Amino acid sequence: MKNKEKHLLKVTDEDAGKRLDVFIKEKLTELSRNRIKNLIEEKFILVNQKDSKPSYKVKIGDEIKVEIPPESELEIKPKEVPFEIIYEDDDIAVINKPAGIVVHPAPGHHNDTLVHGLLLKLKNLSGIGGKIRPGIVHRLDKDTSGIMLVAKNDFSHKKLVEAFKERKISKTYLAIVYKNLENKKGKIESFIGRHPVHRKKMAVLKEGRLAITLYEVKEFLYKATVVFAKPVTGRTHQLRVHFSHIGHPILGDPVYGGLKYDIPKPPRLMLHAYKIFFKHPRTLENMEFIAPIPKEFEKYIELLKKG
């Protein structure tokens, strides 16, 4: 049986006032927020030798003891789930996720996720993300299609998580938004946080976290615009919130105002993770991959061209 991984963290004036779970996430980047929450609740994380809560605000001089027990064997059974492997080596895989597929097990989706498919098609996956998130270093919403990076061992997982945190991985999305944008290029900058009433939604809030999106128009259509969008930051639902905020919601989005009645009905959420650029975690080689534009996107664009 593997031994527990142990860490002793001390709080400096720079970190004072941060939530305990945020502080630990910043120090131990390989751990997911959900794993940290579970470790706190199971008393594997102690503050000054006492159990605490994820929301505890750390103070100067606090000693945070972190024990990370080894994960139990994966309980998720491999299953055929549709996705395309674009690239694979011993450390990473680059895949193209279809719309409608949930990335990892969650309420209502326990046996039909991308993770189930990864376990079937890939020989190895990193274990850092926990038993329900093997190999997962970033996510796409269920109804967003496109390119994803997968870690096949813990070394690449840690390196990719660090690269995402340091904004060294560049992602470009293709979206079809409502109406014609005024400018061919633009920058959307705001603070995004959890909606105060509808807790499953995000919103532009003064007390949120900084979110920056760059965009460039690809094509103007009938009452719509095809746009390349590049999130500089990585907030939950960032592109969907940002385009809705400027009055151009992504078409087909039922949560952020993308269902319109003066335009042909889109077949799905019109958001696709189109391109990713990163350095290989082991070789440091520059790598760029594209997930082709889905056929339903192309058909919808042709429909809107006809007005």
Domains of the chain, each with CATH number or no CATH: 5-68 (3.10.290.10), 76-165 (3.30.2350.10), 172-273+297-305 (3.30.2350.10)
Q: What is the pLDDT of residue 1?
A: 41
Answer yes or no: is pLDDT of 194 > 70: yes
For the annotated catalytic residues, the residue numbers are 141
Answer yes or no: is pLDDT of 75 > 70: no
Q: Is the dihedral angle over the CA atoms 98, 99, 102, 108 positive or is it negative? A: negative
CA distance 176 to 51: 48
What confidence category does residue 9 fall into, taking pLDDT thresholds of 50, 70 and 90? very high
Average pLDDT in the 245-258 region? 97
Answer yes or no: is pLDDT of 73 > 80: no
Answer yes or no: is pLDDT of 74 > 50: no
Q: What share of the chain is helix, strand, coil (3-state, %, to 5)?
A: 20, 30, 50
Adjacent-strand bridge partners of 68? 5
Residues in the chain: 307
Choose the most confident range, by mean pLDDT, from 113-117, 120-124, 250-254: 250-254
What confidence category does residue 199 fall into, taking pLDDT thresholds of 50, 70 and 90? confident
What confidence category does residue 271 fall into, taking pLDDT thresholds of 50, 70 and 90? very high
CA distance 134 to 114: 10
CA distance 80 to 117: 5
CA distance 204 to 56: 25
What confidence category does residue 284 fall into, taking pLDDT thresholds of 50, 70 and 90? very high
- Which helix (H) or strand (E) element contains residue 301? helix 295-305
Contact predicate 177/227, CB 8 Å? yes
- Which helix (H) or strand (E) element contains residue 221? strand 209-221
Q: What angle is formed at CA 243 by the lines to CA 203 and CA 167, rounded to 5 degrees?
A: 80
